[in-house]
Amino acid sequence: MNPNHIPRAPILIAAIFLAGCGGTGSTGLATGGTGGLARGSTDTTGAPAGTSNGTTQQPGGATEQDFTAFTFPLGKGGTLIQPTFPALEGTKFKVLGSHDVQVYELGSEDATQTQDSTTTDLYDADDNVLASVTFTNADPISDGYFWKPITPVVLHPGNTYYVGTFHGVGAGSTYLYDTRPATTPSFLVDLGTFFKTQIQGGTWQRGAGAGSYGTTPARHYNSNFKCLLVQ
């Protein structure tokens, strides 16, 4: 991966792929609201289905519920691969229900703890970049991801989005391929693994080939995010 931030001009990336990505195989922030629970607490009373990081009581009686988008209760699984071409790997998802979702952190997978710097981006369905973060090995790690805060971005019910992380070539870009499907909160639906041959612009493409956990295509989650659901 390029240690510099990904340029925003259209960049053509080699379009060699296998099941959405190819390679050689081998086998947060603790912030609480006044009078409420800190983010990261385990009180999930009344939370939607999914893994809640906790709740916070807000002025006027509103309740913030704090979630990680993609979790793996049975373990992530997957095979470590070293990519042979650079690409932006991502997950397409949709917001359900009637409440806005506020994304406040982005995550980049930490497969080996020796990876090159990388960038994670949040996109709307029209491929506009809503948020972008560059990660290094010095950033905080939890649950298999580096995490960094962003200026909060509001996602709206009924809309589709992508979250993706750029990878380069070789050992410094190793990631977990063909993982278990993630568990998501009930207000998010996981629409599959996609990749792009252009960083900005171009078309998100879905891979091919069956995965080891009953999915087609094989799944991988190079990126993640943390969010609030205010009710």
| Contact (Cβ atoms closer than 8 angstroms) between residue 48 and residue 227 | no
One of 1.10.10, 3.30.70, 2.60.120, 2.40.128 is the CATH number of 49-230, namely 2.60.120
56 vs 228: CA distance, rounded Å: 10
Number of C-beta neighbours around residue 102 at 10 A: 16
Amino acid code (one letter) for 67: F
Ramachandran area for residue 202 (φ above 0: left; ψ -120 to 50: alpha; else beta) = left
pTM score of the predicted model: 0.75
Q: How far is CA 13 from CA 104, 184, 189, 202, in A?
A: 29, 30, 28, 11
Write the pLDDT tens digit of every residue in 1-47: 433 333 333 333 333 333 344 443 433 333 333 233 333 333 333 44
Write the pLDDT tens digit of every residue in 43-95: 333 445 555 665 554 444 455 789 999 999 999 999 998 888 888 899 999 99
Residue 178 confidence (pLDDT)? 92
195 vs 164: CA distance, rounded Å: 8
For residue 189, the 8-state DSSP code is: E
Write the pLDDT tens digit of every residue in 159-200: 999 999 988 888 888 899 999 999 999 999 999 999 987 767
Measured in degrees and rounded to the nearest 5, phi and psi for residue 61 equal 95, -5
Residue 228: HSE in the Cβ half-sphere, 13 Å Cα cutoff: 24
